[in-house]
Amino acid sequence: MKGIVASGTGEGKKFLSMPEYREQFIKKYGLEPYPGTLNLEVGKNIVSDIRKAGGDIIHGFTKDGREYGNVLCIPVNIFEENCFLILPEKSIHGDMVEIVAEENLRKKYHIHDGAVLDIAILPMIKNSIKRKMWAVPTNGNGRGEITVFYDLPYGKRRDVCLKEGKNVEGGYRKTFPEREVACILFDAEERKALETLLHFVEENCHGKMSPPRLIAYSLLNEWQIEVKTKEN
């Protein structure tokens, strides 16, 4: 995924200086954030896809009579540095994401407005969204809004899942429960993304509880595998 560097309003510096947000980053991710964010324009559709996919949450709070919202967090890699892509719940920028890192990336890498950066989205664990859909078992090459692959790699035995499918012959009602999943968002190199996710699951000794499923958004796609972690 690519993003174009843009100037922000300075809100990132303000919020990341607040201990209520700052301490959550340190406790959850072991990352002491630089008090400021790198703003990247990625387009409204990408922002919408990320919000639909969801991720980890830095929780909001109330202070001095003002409500500060939740912040959606997704691990990413920029310049070979592990960072976090964030989307504040109350963000006014519909086409922009912010990057949180331990250092001032602008200064460290001499980045100027208009520069195009590569953003590698990393695998993560999150709670999936409950979905009720119509599934059509097939031994072909069909794809749906969600496609469940029962044979790897990319075997023909799969469920093609659609939100509306009552009249599809051979279809049945399928529920994807809210469960912990290992997942990765991507915009290209579908097979490589799946390989990265499978390696992440194996490396972290997570037990696979479901076959891989591919979720199609507007511009991004997401691989998900239900897993059993040490915590669940």
- Give tens-digit pLDDT for 166-196: 667 788 999 999 999 999 999 999 999 999 9
Mean pLDDT in residue range 57-85: 94
For position 205, what pLDDT does the model report? Answer: 86
Better-scored residue on pLDDT, 155 or 132? 132
Percent of the chain whose predicted confidence (pLDDT) is above 70 = 97
What is the per-residue pLDDT for 166?
66
Torsion angle of C-alpha atoms 228, 180, 143, 164, degrees rounded to 10: 130
pLDDT at 31: 92
**Once rounded to an integer, what is the mean pLDDT over residues 202-215?**
94
pLDDT tens by residue, 1-56: 999 999 977 777 888 889 999 999 999 999 999 999 999 999 999 999 999 999 99
- Weakest-pLDDT range from 102-106, 124-128, 141-145, 198-202: 141-145
- pLDDT of 221 above 80: yes
pLDDT at site 155? 80
Neighbours of 190 (CB within 10 A): 13
pLDDT at 164: 73
Give DSSP secondary structure letters for the chain: -EEEEE---SHHHHHHTSHHHHHHHHHHHS----SS-EEEE--HHHHHHHHHH--EEE--EEETTEEE--EEEEEEEETTEEEEEEEETT-S-TTEEEEE-SS-HHHHTT--TT-EEE-EEPPEEEEPPPEEEEEEEESS----SEEEESSTTT-S-EEEEESS-TTSTT-EEEEE-S-EEEEEEESS-HHHHHHHHHHHHHHTTPEE-S--EEEE-SS-EEEEEEEE-TT-
- List the chain domain ranges: 2-122, 126-228
With 90 as the cut, is the pLDDT of residue 113 above it?
yes
Structure-block tokens of residue 228: 């059993």
| Superfamily grouping for domain 2-122 | Riboflavin kinase-like (2.40.30.30)
Q: Give the chain's mean pLDDT.
A: 92
Bigger pLDDT: 202 vs 169: 202
Distance of CA 122 to the CA centre of its chain: 8
Give me the pLDDT at residue 232, please: 62
Give the pLDDT band of residue 60 (cuts 50, 70, 90): very high
CATH architecture for the domain at 126-228: Alpha-Beta Barrel (3.20)
| 2-122 and 126-228, same CATH topology | no
Residue-level pLDDT at 91: 75
What average pLDDT does range 185-211 have in this prediction?
Answer: 95
Once rounded to an integer, what is the mean pLDDT over residues 78-103? 91
